[in-house]
């Protein structure tokens, strides 16, 4: 009796983008060159914000003087921006 398709074992291919080595290199870059805690990388992240929805959210937080939420949003934007470019730099090396 043959093997049923439902019984077949699927083994996904290794993804180079999801390796411990890649994560290590990205983390190392985010400690220095892409560190969102430094003024340059932190500030650079906001120059690239073009999404009207994000801009609207930021403006509402400023108008409502919700500085805690504004700080969290700015931190997240900066972290994601710098993580994206650090990951891009590492993946271009492969």
- Does any domain span residue 2? no
Q: Is residue 17 part of a domain?
A: no
Residue 18 lies in a domain: no
Query: How far, in Å, are 12, 13, 81, 84 from residue 78 at the CA level?
Result: 33, 32, 5, 10
User: Could you read off the pLDDT of 6-15 as tens digits, one per residue?
Assistant: 666 666 666 6
The domain tally of the chain equals 1
Residue-number span of the structural domain to which 94 is assigned: 50-94
- At 56-69, the pLDDT tens digits run 999 999 999 999 99
Q: What is the pLDDT of residue 49?
A: 87
At residue 3, the pLDDT reads 58
Domain assignment present for 6 = no
Q: Has residue 21 been placed in a domain?
A: no
> Within a domain: residue 58?
yes
Residue 71 confidence (pLDDT):
95
pTM over cut 0.85: no
pLDDT digits (tens, 9 = 90+) for 25-84: 999 999 999 999 999 999 999 887 889 999 999 999 999 999 999 999 999 999 999 999
């Amino acid at each position: 009796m043959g093997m049923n398709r439902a019984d077949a074992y699927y083994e996904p291919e290794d993804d180079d983008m999801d390796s411990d080595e890649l994560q290590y290199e990205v983390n190392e870059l985010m400690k220095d060159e892409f560190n969102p805690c430094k003024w340059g990388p932190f500030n650079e992240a906001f120059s690239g914000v073009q999404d009207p929805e994000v801009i609207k959210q930021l403006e509402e937080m400023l108008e409502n003087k919700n500085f805690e939420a504004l700080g969290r949003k700015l931190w997240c934007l900066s972290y994601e921006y710098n993580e994206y470019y650090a990951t891009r730099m590492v993946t271009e090396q492969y």
